[in-house]
Structure 1
Amino acid sequence: MKVTVDGIELELPAGTSAIDAVFQAGRDVPYFCAHSYLSPVGACRMCLVETGSPRKEKDGSLTLDEAGQPKIFWMPKPMASCTMQATEGMHIRTAKTSDVVAKAQAGMMEFTLLNHPLDCPTCDKGGACELQDRAFEYGYGASRYGFDRRHADKHYPLSDFVILDQERCIHCKRCVRYFEEVPGQEVLDFIERGGHTFIDTDEGGLPLGFQGNITDICPVGALLDNVARFRGRNWEYDHTPTTCTLCPVGCSITVDARNGRIERVVARENRDVNEMWICDAGRFGHVSASDARLLTPLVRGQDGELHEATWDDAIAAMTRGFMGHPLGELGLYVGADSTLEEGVALETLAGALGTRSVDHWPRQPSVGHPPTLTEVATADAVVIVGADLMKEAPVVQLRVLEMLRGGLLPAEFAHGTAIADLRLVERPPRNPAKLAVIGAETTDLARQARIALPIPGPEALRVLAGLAAPRDPMLVAVTELLGKVGPKGVLILGAEALAGADAGLLSAVAAMAARTGTRVLALPAGANSLGLAALNLLPQAGGRGYAQLDQAPAAFISRLDPVGQGQPGRARGFTVVHDTHLTATAAQADVVLPAVTNYEKRGTTVNLEGRLLELQQAAMSTAEAADLIRALGALGEALGLKSRIRGLRSAQTLVAERLGQPVDRLPERGAVATSLPRSLAPAAGLRHTPALWAQPLTRRESHGDWAAHIGSLVDSRWELPLHGGAQQPGGDD
């Protein structure tokens, strides 16, 4: 259809909103309530435009003016463009060409600021506030109201992590719509009416999981991240776009650092992966990245204690320690969140040593070629077996919920994701018949599914694969569901199902998927499990895996804490640990090398859909800490070996050779790997138990309640009771 904006003629798809037509024309219109992934409601009334359309006569022809052109009949008043659908022949005027629109927008801005507190100098949103920007661009520049503004609760805790300033709220309803439409939780709403309106939760507060996203989408300083408050101004942060590696999803994030410390993590849009959302673990789990870090090597002295040392001292100690041990039996074990570049460096060193004892952990077997997350969101049906997505891959749960409400993904234009997709509605209906959840534990998604069966994952897999007769008639319905939807069906397998499945069962599941056309998403156990398995960082024939660590004559362990998991943490002989904190395993080592976190790395990972994603290095103070490539270089020097990988570029070249595609120039959204070998080998000897929320994300502790741990960190840093509502020193925010 043809639409004209300020005299610019556009060709747009049917159903496009007027506000997206304006932006597609390169024009601007202010808005506060509209959001790309939420329903348009026209609450703020800032996106006003003049609109007019041609009319048809009774015979179907267009009404013409004196010049013989279609006559445009203009609406009597400016209209909100976010809730208006552009139609064939529509004309739109913005403030660029209409004084009426400019005056109306300035008037709405004046009403919005009528009771807004003038506390920009002390507001944490200062410098990144949409209201500030739009007031400067579209406001009158002066206030005609000299009376006292309304007063409401400040520093009102909606939870341990989100603080509400009711005076700053402009009632855009983004936060309310977010909870209703994205995680499907009706926990936040407007209370009272008129000038007394405020938002609040029920007595339980906000549920832990995805609550932090409302601090990102709030257009003003009303909703603030309690972990990041008062840590710095927006212009003082070093903003680093990177990828979260706390789970296999690989959400796009921005890490904000100041004075060498991570102070804040916010979501970054990636339509193909996490859209605009991240889980609370990814948002608030960064607290320990700068606290109690190992910054220098440690070497065990003759007194049996670990002492600070230089890297030269550590290399000399490793040279002495490995002497007499067969290098061909040296165990090399790394965390599954190591990058591809670190993986090829490890593979190269293992090849030079001739050792077959190489492994990464945690890991689970994979089945076939996984669907993309967009395919999960647009599937006709999803069957989940043995998976608690909140513990294993939280954002996948949001994509499944997106599937339940129809799989409507916002359109994409030249200006980006549609600002107002009119197909999205408030309180969207969800179709539980499209979801089946099978597993021993009751999960959040099981409560929203038409079929929810408390059957152990491996048992259900045997039935679905045709290896066992169903004891429950509902399993027959699940099998029929997958057969009926075919290529538009997705089978998600989690830790419970994969840990108890042998190679024969996994092969049968893969055959069933090929027969029905079902896509199988076997959730990897680690952030880069798929990538490291593709590099064949697995124990070879006759080699010792991670489960046999204590049987190796000597070992190098990077960013793993087997002692904290109840496993032996030392080899029989000399042991070197490379980690960010002094873990229980590091405390038993002979040499400890300081490591960097994944926030401080450059490199590449492969997420659960096989997408190559880029890591960038945040501006953090790392002292003498080193990534795995440099640590392996030091290990090679101690062993008298010279590696062909001397840095990131040489590692990326080798990765490109192994995967058949470059990784040094990835697009912003990442790129699905064209050739990624799959491993059907189950991990023997150890069982992976997902614990994203059950333990602190610090590597310093192996058990405890994560939320309480982070809450105590916030408490100690601010010296403020989280529910006290007291004013903090150094500002009146």
Structure 2
Amino acid sequence: MKVVVDGHELDLPAGTSAIDAVFAAERDVPYFCAQPYLSPVGACRMCLIESGSPRKNPDGTFVMEGEGDAAKPKIFWFPKPMAACTMQATEGMHIRTAATSEVVAKSQAGMMEFTLLNHPLDCPTCDKGGACELQDRAFEYGYGASRFGFDRRHADKHYPLSDFVILDQERCIHCKRCVRYFEEVPGQEVLDFIERGGHTFIDTEEGGLPVGFQGNITDICPVGALLDNVARFRGRNWEYDHNPTTCTLCPVGCSITVDARNGRLERIVAGENREVNEAWICDAGRFGHGFASEGRLTQPLVRVNGELREATWDDAIAAMRQGLAYTNPADLGLYLGSDSTLEEGVSLEAFAGLIDTRSVDHWPRYPVSVNAPAATMTDVGTADAIVVLGADLGEEAPVLELRVLEALRGGIIPPEFPHGTAIADLRLVERPTRKPEKLAVIGPDSRLAKHAGIRVTVERASGGDLLGALLNPRTDEARAVLKLLTEAKQPVVILGADVLNNPSGAFATQISDLAMRTGAKVLAIPAGPNSKGLSHLGLVPRMGGLGYARLSDAPAAFISRLDPGRRARGFTVVHDTHLTDTARLADVVLPAVTNYEKRGTTVNLEGRLLPLRQSALNAGEAADLTRTLAALAEALGVRTKVRGLKSAQALLRDRLGVNVENLPESGVIQSLGQRHEAPTSLRHTPNLWTERMVPKPNPSSDPRHLTIDPRLELPMAAQPGGDD
């Protein structure tokens, strides 16, 4: 359709909102309440425009003005400015912005004056200062001076909505973004307006905000009303070093921005990735970053006379040379955490080949692969039937839960324009009707199960055989699930820990059979953030090699960023960020960097290659796994070809046929070939929050100390089983 904005004609898709038409024309209009992925409501009245459209005669022809060849459709203008976010652009519509209309400019300045009427003048002490939409828009569209000399309304300045989110009621401009977010995204009606007129404020039910996704409201708040209590008063926005990277706390791989100041990680905010997390992250990814700057190992430790003492890297290399002098390099076990990057993984693989060891493993991992059409996060968000099998998404892949809920509300994903995601998608509505009949949950009780139309517990699922219950239904619920998948056009099956931990011998055949019978795509949630990528590299025990479960039997071991709480039978080297229980038992401890400080690549649950970028954190002499392996090679008297990021990326290109040097922030889905697997007697129990991630009270914040919600369960240590 043709739309004219300030005299410039555009060709836009049908259904485009007027506000997106303005931005598509590279013009500007202020707004506070509109937000991509949320319904447009026209609450702030800032996005005012003048608009007019042609009209048709009874015979279907346009009302014309002018004569002869100069005749053109007459534009009938609305008598008053209209909110652009709730208006749909139509064929032939004309729009005037403040750039060409004095009426619009005066109307927007008037609305800005009303918005600032009772707003406090505390910008110098506000955490949002320097990144505040209200500040920017007041400067661009306001009068520049207030005509009101009376005292402003006063309200509660430090009102805790929860342990993590603090509300400043005086700063709230009633844009309703936070209220709509809870209603429309996680489907939790816990926040709303209370009272009326000038006394209106937002508040929650008793019990505060639910843990899970509450922190997102601090991102979307256009002013400093909702603040992250973990990062509060840590620094001004212009003092932070903003680094876009990928979260590796779970297999989703959300886009985040790491804000560091003076070498400390102070804040994490969500980044937009339309294909993965859209614009949301979970509370663990947002608030669980304190460990990255607290209690870090910053230099090597060497055991001398039974005690670990600080040393240099040269001392550590000498100690490893002496401790491994009588050990056959082929007997050295190599174990790494599954959040390691592909570059680190390929470095370990090359090192294992160099010393000819078969004892290689990563943890956590599942002993099974899935051979079925793979689903993406977008497939989940647009599916017309979803079956969650043996998964607690809140612990295994939280943002995947939001994509499931997105499917239940219609699977509407806002379109993308050159200026970004649609600011106002008119298909999205407040308090959307969800369709629970599209969701079936088979397995343990979970937060998502409350939204499911079909619920099958573990006890009713053939004595715990979740997949068998679906393929050979014996109950009405199981038959209903199979019918749901069979009748759907775009079904998706999500597999979680309860299925992947204990697969039957015919698991792969059963999954393939289910996919073929129903036409479903399958999304298996990996055990670790990069377990999918490391499995493709073959970092599992080789024939005759000792796996992670038999670490205690290894003659010697190198353990990178794992904490099993035990050591190898012989000389043990630990590479970690903190002095863990395992590190306290080691002979040599080498300082590691966190994933916030790495450059590299990770593979998320859908097989998407995502980039990690380095943040400026103070890590002392800590090193990533690639450089640490070079030091270990020196101690063993061998020379590895992989000594840095570039050489690791070149090896990846040869090994997997993937060029990861310049990946876009949104990542790229690419087949990595065969996935390697090996049995394990360890059972992985997903726990998103670990003990070191639990935030501590912010001493610079409100005197009311931050307490931890008792709903945050801390994980139990993995217990070793029998042989691999």
- TM category, shorter: over 0.9
Contact persistence 2:6–2:97 (CA under 8 A)? yes
2:536–2:672 Cα contact (<8 Å) kept: no
1:103 equivalent to 2:106? Answer yes
TM-score by length of 1: 0.94
Residue number in structure 1 paired with 2:718:
none
In the other structure, the counterpart of 1:687 is: 683
Alignment correspondent of 1:655:
652
**Aligned with 1:205: secondary structure?**
coil
Q: For 1:459 and 1:431, how far apart are their aligned partners in 2?
A: 27
Q: CA deviation at 1:386?
A: 0.7
Instruction: Please name the residue that 2:341 is paired with.
Output: 339
Task: Give the aligned residue type for 2:600.
Answer: G
Please say if 1:219 is aligned against 2:222.
yes
- Which residue of the partner structure matches residue 58 of structure 2? 58
Match of 1:420 in 2: 424
Equivalent residue number for residue 593 of structure 1: 590
The answer to whether the aligner puts 1:482 opposite 2:485 as a matched pair is: yes
CA separation of 1:13/1:98 partners in 2, compared to 1, >3 Å: closer, same or farther? Answer: same
Per the alignment, residue 8 of structure 2 pairs with: 8
Q: Which runs of 5+ in 1 are unaligned?
A: 564-568, 699-708, 725-733
The answer to whether the 8 Å contact 1:241/1:252 transfers is yes
Given candidates 720, 727, 732, the residue that maps to 2:703 is: 720
Match of 2:413 among 404, 409, 416: 409
Residue 515 of structure 2, aligned match among 504, 509, 513: 513
Instruction: Give the match for residue 714 of structure 2.
Output: none
Aligned match for 2:164, one of 161, 166, 181: 161
The Cα of 1:717 is off from its aligned counterpart by 5.9
Give the deviation of 1:682 after TM superposition: 5.7
Please say if residues 558 and 628 of structure 1, whose CA atoms lie closer than 8 Å, have aligned partners that are also in contact: yes
Structure 1: distance between partners of 2:289 and 2:673 = 30
- Residues 382-531 of structure 1: pairs in structure 2 closer than 5 A: 382-439=386-443, 441-455=444-458, 459-464=465-470, 466=471, 469-485=472-488, 488-531=490-533
Q: Which amino acid aligns with 1:599?
A: Y
Distance 2:227 2:555 in 1: 52
- SS in structure 2 at match of 1:342: helix
Cα 1:108–1:54, aligned 2, differ >3 Å: closer, same or farther?
Answer: same
Kindly provide the amino acid, as one letter, of the partner of residue 55 in structure 1. Answer: R
The residue matched to 1:52 in structure 2 has which SS?
strand
Structure 2 match to 1:46: 46
Match of 2:128 in 1: 125
Cα gap change, 1:479/1:530 in structure 2, threshold over 3 Å: closer, same or farther? same
Shift of 1:719: 7.6
Aligned residue for 1:312? 314
| Corresponding residue of 1:622 | 619
Distance 2:107 2:518 in 1: 58
Distance, in Å, in 1 between the alignment partners of 2:521 and 2:535 is 20
Matches of 1:17 and 1:164 in 2, distance apart? 32
Q: Which amino acid aligns with 1:402?
A: E
Deviates more, 1:606-615 or 1:514-523: 514-523
**Is the 8 Å Cα contact of residues 334 and 557 (structure 1) preserved in structure 2?**
yes
Partner residue of 2:249 out of 232, 246, 251: 246
Q: Cα offset for 1:677?
A: 2.5
The percentage of aligned residue pairs carrying the same residue is: 70
**Deviation string, structure 1 residues 113-144 (Cα, Å, up to 9, x no partner):** 00100111111100000000000000011110
Rounded Cα–Cα distance in structure 2 between residues aligned with 1:51 and 1:216: 32
Give the ranges of 4+ consecutive aligned residues of structure 1 lying more than 3 Å apart after TM superposition.
715-719
Contact 1:577 1:591 in 2 (8 A): yes
Amino acid at match of 1:627: D
Give how far 1:455 is off: 2.0
SS in 1 for 2:73: coil
Q: 1:716 to 1:107 in 2, by over 3 A?
A: closer
- The size of the alignment, in residue pairs, is 699
**Distance in 1, Cα, partners of 2:379 & 2:77:** 42
C-alpha distance after superposition, 1:266-319 (max 9, x if no partner): 0000000000000000000101111111111001112x0111111001001101
1:723 CA drift (Å): 7.3
SS class of match (2:144): coil
Structure 2 distance, partners of 1:38, 1:525, is 32
* 1:373 alignment partner, one of 369, 374, 377: 377
TM-score, normalised by the number of residues in structure 2: 0.95
Q: Is the 1:580–1:596 Cα contact (8 Å) retained in structure 2?
A: yes
Check 1:723–1:500 CA distance in 2 against 1; reply closer, same or farther (3 A cut): closer
Alignment map for 1:111-190 (pairs within 5 Å): 111-190=114-193
User: Take 1:593 and 1:88, find their aligned partners in 2: how far apart are those partners?
Assistant: 66
Q: Which amino acid aligns with 1:516?
A: T
User: Partners in 1 of 2:5 and 2:701 — Cα distance?
Assistant: 51
Describe the superposition over 1:156-179 as per-residue Cα deviations: whole angstroms up to 9, x where unpaired: 000011000000000000000000
Note the residue ranges of structure 2 that are not aligned, 5 or more in a row: 708-724
Give the deviation of 1:715 after TM superposition: 4.6
C-alpha separation in 1, matches of 2:702 and 2:224: 22
| TM-aligned CA deviation for residue 328 of structure 1 | 1.1
> Is 1:95–1:101's contact at 8 Å kept on the other side of the alignment?
yes
Q: 1:45 to 1:595 in 2, by over 3 A?
A: same
Q: 2:55 & 2:214 partners in 1: Cα distance?
A: 47
Q: Distance in 2 between matches of 1:376 and 1:3?
A: 34
Contact 2:117 2:148 in 1 (8 A): yes
Q: Is the 8 A contact 1:367 1:678 kept in 2?
A: no
Deviations 1:213-242 (A, max 9, x none): 000000000000001111000000000000
Cα offset, 1:517, TM superposition: 2.1
Given residue 399 of structure 2, which amino acid in structure 1 is its aligned partner? V
1:306-360 Cα offsets, whole Å, 9 max, x none, are: 1111100100110111111121121000000000000010000000010011000
SS across alignment from 2:211: coil
Partner SS, residue 253 of structure 1: strand
Inter-partner Cα distance in structure 2 for 1:627 and 1:641:
19
Instruction: Give SS of 1:246's match.
Output: coil
User: Aligned equivalents of 1:130 and 1:683: distance in 2?
Assistant: 54
Equivalent-residue separation in structure 2 for 1:503 and 1:413 (angstroms) = 48
